[in-house]
């Protein structure tokens, strides 16, 4: 048996049922639809670009493109550019990861939030917004033009240095923020049993913050792999296969510069190579970003 409140009390209870015709509900629905429309408009360019690159590049992609270099006006492939992209990106990671992780460790563990630490954090924020071509021009003036690397000018090493400048802000910031997420109780416990600060960082805090740090490193690699302007001023381009250790001291082909060079040429075969390289580069960056999302999900679990 259900007891209902007296009639006097029922008159004081407001009617909270949803009314479609109320002004606030109509306004809420209109704003919801507008938000959905704007979200679709924001995603539409990405979908359009991916679809167009898939249609134009995926249609001409075949295995022979990866076994030939980008020489000649007829035929050729993108194999040398794929290898060159891997080499230059690896060199940039080899420079940026130790420096960036070390800088993040200093900010999170040793700086104490002083003036110098604030200056470094401000500097990384500024560097994150600097156009990539500025990094290319800087490395061109310091390394390429002066031939400071064993008398060589344009080289894969110069390209790696330019890309590492672009990677550094992301690596530093993610390392700093990742170490801040580690509970201080872990540090106190390690120091309490006699471990030094260095051992505590090496054995406790860094392993605990490995996932966010790795995510930042992967995202920075994805950004570096798709850059073009810095490589035009530093690594330049080469239509030949990189051979031997000396290849890092000479101009080298990369996918982004190949796209830039071949897309504007009047030859259909080279335009097709540009579209194929675009498809491979987009797929490569997409896979790296998916891997970064997997790392984030792994951290949350």
Helix spans in the chain (H): 7-12, 23-58, 79-105, 115-129, 132-139, 156-180, 184-192, 197-200, 206-208, 210-225, 229-234, 255-262, 268-300
The gap from C-alpha 62 to its chain's centroid, in whole angstroms, comes to 27
Residue 18: is it exposed, middle or buried by C-beta count within 10 angstroms (0-12/13-18/19+)? exposed
> In this prediction, what percent of the chain has a pLDDT beyond 90?
27
Tell me the sheet residues that pair with 149: 152
User: 144: how many CB neighbours lie within 10 A of its CB?
Assistant: 24
Complete domains list, the chain, with CATH? 77-300 (1.10.3720.10)
User: If you search the block for the tokens 């000479």, which residue do you land on?
Assistant: 250
What CA–CA distance (Å, rounded) separates 219 from 116?
A: 27
| Alpha-carbon separation of residue 267 from 78, 163, 270 (angstroms) | 16, 30, 6
SS3 call for 152: strand
Most confidently modeled range among 66-80, 81-95, 262-276: 81-95
The gap from C-alpha 191 to its chain's centroid, in whole angstroms, comes to 36
* Res. 3: pLDDT tops 70: no
Residue 270: is it exposed, middle or buried by C-beta count within 10 angstroms (0-12/13-18/19+)? buried
Q: What is the pLDDT of residues 154-208, one digit of tens each?
A: 899 999 999 999 999 999 999 999 998 888 888 888 888 888 888 888 888 988 8
**What is the reported pLDDT for 271?**
86
Instruction: Quote helix, strand, coil % in the chain, to nearest 5.
Output: 75, 0, 25
Structure tokens at 87: 């080499």
Name the band, by pLDDT with cuts 50, 70 and 90, for residue 7. low
Q: What is the pLDDT of residues 11-47, one digit of tens each?
A: 566 666 767 777 888 888 899 999 999 999 999 998 9
Q: Quick check: 134 and 140 in contact, CB under 8 A? A: no
What CA–CA distance (Å, rounded) separates 149 from 146?
A: 8
| Alpha-carbon separation of residue 288 from 181, 202, 291 (angstroms) | 24, 27, 5
User: 43: how many CB neighbours lie within 10 A of its CB?
Assistant: 10
SS3 call for 145: coil
Please state the rounded mean pLDDT for residues 131-143: 92
Lowest mean pLDDT among 4-13, 129-138, 171-180, 240-249: 4-13
Tell me the sheet residues that pair with 152: 149
């Amino acid at each position: 048996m259900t007891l209902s409140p007296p009639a006097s009390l029922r008159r004081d209870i407001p009617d909270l049922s949803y009314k479609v015709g109320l002004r606030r509900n109509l306004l809420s629905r209109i704003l919801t639809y507008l938000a959905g429309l704007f979200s679709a408009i924001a995603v539409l360019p990405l979908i359009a670009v991916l679809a167009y690159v898939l249609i134009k590049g995926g249609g001409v992609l075949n295995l022979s493109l990866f076994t030939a270099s980008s020489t000649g006006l007829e035929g050729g492939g993108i194999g040398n550019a794929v290898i060159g992209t891997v080499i230059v990106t690896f060199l940039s990671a080899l420079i940026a990861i130790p420096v960036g992780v070390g800088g993040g460790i200093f900010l999170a563990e040793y700086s104490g939030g002083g003036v110098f630490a604030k200056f470094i954090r401000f500097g990384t924020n500024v560097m994150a917004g600097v156009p990539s071509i500025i990094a290319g021009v800087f490395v061109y003036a310091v390394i390429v033009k002066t031939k400071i690397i064993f008398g060589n000018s344009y080289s894969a090493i110069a390209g790696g240095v330019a890309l590492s400048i672009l990677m550094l802000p992301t690596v530093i910031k993610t390392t700093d923020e990742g170490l801040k997420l580690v509970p201080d109780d872990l540090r106190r416990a390690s120091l309490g049993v006699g471990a030094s600060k260095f051992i505590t960082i090496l054995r406790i805090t860094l392993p605990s913050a490995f996932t966010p740090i790795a995510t930042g490193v992967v995202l920075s690699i994805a950004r570096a792999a798709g850059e073009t302007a810095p490589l035009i001023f530093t690594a330049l381009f080469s239509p030949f296969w990189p051979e031997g250790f000396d290849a890092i001291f000479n101009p080298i082909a990369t996918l982004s510069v190949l796209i830039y060079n071949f897309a504007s040429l009047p030859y259909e075969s080279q335009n097709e190579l540009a579209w194929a390289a675009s498809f491979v580069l987009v797929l490569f960056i997409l896979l790296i970003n998916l891997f970064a999302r997997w790392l984030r999900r792994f951290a949350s679990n």
